[in-house]
Structure 1
Amino acid sequence: MNLISLDIRMLRSLISVVETGSITETARRLGRTQPAITLQLQRLEELTGKQLFLHGGRRLTLTEDGTTVLTYAKSILRLHDELISQLASQEIEGQVVLGTPDLYAAFMLPSILSVFRKSFPRVQVELNCALSTPLVGLVKRGDVDIALVTRMNDFTGGQVVRREQLVWMTGEQSAAHQERPIPLALLPPGNIYRDYAIDTLERANLRWRVACVSESVGGLQAAAFAGMAVTVLGRSALVPAMREIGSSEGLPPLPKIELLLYKSSGATSKAATALHDYLAHYLRLDEELSGRGIPIELG
């Protein structure tokens, strides 16, 4: 009898997709990309040798085998999380300052921090939201213990834990991308999101103007929601009432950016190490995606 081994992350993705009915929402909740979630579901079907979903239309529906796997997945995941919580050392305690831009605080970290709190109930995490460049300075001075930031061209050190695809976004009913010059909602000068947006339009000989500058993702989204501008964010930040604008609508493709995880040299506590390792684990690059074309649109 050949035994198979199922990754807990696959089971967690399966449960979330069924609960939300959406790969897009699951990716947002779990802090991963849509292709990564899709790959996990495909891999789960390969390992079990069963078709878990009926793939007609945009709505994912469980097969009979899928329902069976889901039932066991819930039990396995509950026991897994209970075990981790028990082992997660009630002994580890302390306060850790985590710095990150509000973009990642809002769209990548909530689910990870929620699981971390269950596993390490005596560790207090203080969240410091700021732009990437000042955060790197803060973590190097020891004012922030751990920082998750966007790699800028002059950054050194840090651990690459994820790549994020940049996309053009605007309001669901907005036609701002058809205006000339194109109105843009951008982060302040010195940010790579802004640099890539402008450079990409310049290379495509498309005229543009700045319609909104905001240090907060909320400001960029507000301008997009109102139909005032087009903005550039990571695909994981695509929320209801906003839509991605592709090359078919006249805007050139954008590159991927890298996310770096920094740990202060003075952050030597077990609490800081636990949080750093947790983030590195859940945000790390999924090398299986490299060079593979995976369908991502469902939900």
Structure 2
Amino acid sequence: MEVVAMNLISLDVRMLRSLISVVETGSITETARRLGRTQPAISLQIQRLEDLTGRSLITFDNRRVVLSEDGALVLSYAKSIVRMHDELLSRLASPQIEGHVVLGTPDLYAANILPPILSVFCRAFPRIQVELRCVLSTPLVSQVKRGDVDIALVTRMNDFTGGRVVHREQLIWMVAAGSRAHQESPVPLALLPSGNIFREHAIAALDSVGRPWRIACVSESASGLLAAVYAGMAVTVLGRSALANGLRALDDDGFPPLPSVELLLYKSSGATSAAAGALHDYLQHYLSLGPMPRVGT
């Protein structure tokens, strides 16, 4: 029987980490700053990665990073490899860390973004107890600054200061599959309370195209908004991560485009424990890598 030998190559995790950061930031300069390397070193790592794979991965078009088809494939695997690499090191190095950490976030992120990250974290740090509190972004920022919450993941509002941008979430119009709410005039809307940036973007977008609207539901939780949407009562605006079975995005239905929003990670000045530091660093790292697979998939 003929045995076919494969010419295996080895990819350095540092190359993969550099690729992820360059795509995320759109900048070799910013990547060098984040990773503590020089710009020539980052460029060399990307070049070396292309040499090893034998593929062109990224190009720069007017300072914008453009991924090739092969680059997108390598990026998807790079994120998984880096996650597994860092999880392994965490589990080996810090199983003895223990403590109690209060994490605050809106229920939208608690349901759709955090579960896979917290699942990995709890396996890596089995002695850390995480208390999850679901609160809207504006009161959460006040709570973390008072020390009532150790760490908070929130949506950046116009008047927020501090925090670190760790993720961007694209806003979309969504409606229940089979619903005709989006065809009504005025458009019935299910929105968060006044002062929330999701609400502001939704109303501003409709006003910009002269499309009439009315408020059909106001809720402080995403689950309340989705209840109205599933009932066929309204259209809502949420992050794309909230798009689930039974919902559809109104991408081609005449609704104006919406911007993305930034997610900020805050840590209370009083949260000095090793447990709080471990959770903060984990969230910062994994959120910056982009969406993780859902638990159980």
- The answer to whether 1:249 aligns with 2:256 is no
Q: Distance in 2 between matches of 1:79 and 1:130?
A: 33
| RMSD over equivalenced CA pairs, Å | 3.0
Q: Indicate the residue corresponding to 1:270 in structure 2.
A: 274
Secondary structure, aligned partner of 1:135: helix
- The answer to whether 1:4 aligns with 2:8 is no
Decide whether aligned partners of structure 1 residues 85 and 250 sit closer, same or farther in structure 2, where only a CA change above 3 A counts. same
Give the length in aligned residue pairs.
Answer: 231
- The match for 2:92 among 74, 86, 102 is 86
Residues 78-130 of structure 1 show CA distances to partners (whole Å, capped at 9, x for unaligned) of 8975554232x122111000000000000000000010001111111000100
Decide whether aligned partners of structure 1 residues 282 and 174 sit closer, same or farther in structure 2, where only a CA change above 3 A counts. same
Q: Indicate the residue corresponding to 1:226 in structure 2.
A: 231
Q: Indicate the residue corresponding to 1:155 in structure 2.
A: 160
Decide whether aligned partners of structure 1 residues 242 and 8 sit closer, same or farther in structure 2, where only a CA change above 3 A counts. farther
Q: Indicate the residue corresponding to 2:182 in structure 1.
A: 177
Structure-2-length-normalised TM-score: 0.71
Q: Indicate the residue corresponding to 1:108 in structure 2.
A: 113
Residue 226 of structure 1 deviates from its aligned partner by: 1.2
Q: Residue type of the partner of 2:208?
A: R
Decide whether aligned partners of structure 1 residues 182 and 79 sit closer, same or farther in structure 2, where only a CA change above 3 A counts. closer
Identical aligned residues as a percent: 63
- The answer to whether 1:198 aligns with 2:203 is yes
- The match for 2:125 among 114, 117, 120 is 120
1:127-146 mapped onto 2 (5 Å cutoff): 127-146=132-151
Q: Distance in 2 between matches of 1:201 and 1:78?
A: 43
Q: Distance in 2 between matches of 1:77 and 1:266?
A: 29
Decide whether aligned partners of structure 1 residues 112 and 189 sit closer, same or farther in structure 2, where only a CA change above 3 A counts. same
Give the number of the structure whose alpha-carbon radius of gyration is greater: 2
Q: Distance in 2 between matches of 1:123 and 1:190?
A: 35
Structure-1-length-normalised TM-score: 0.70
Q: Distance in 2 between matches of 1:9 and 1:108?
A: 23
Greater RCO (Cα-Cα under 8 Å, separation 6 or more):
1
Following TM superposition, the consecutive aligned residue runs of length 4 or more in structure 1 with deviations greater than 3 angstroms are 5-10, 44-50, 74-84
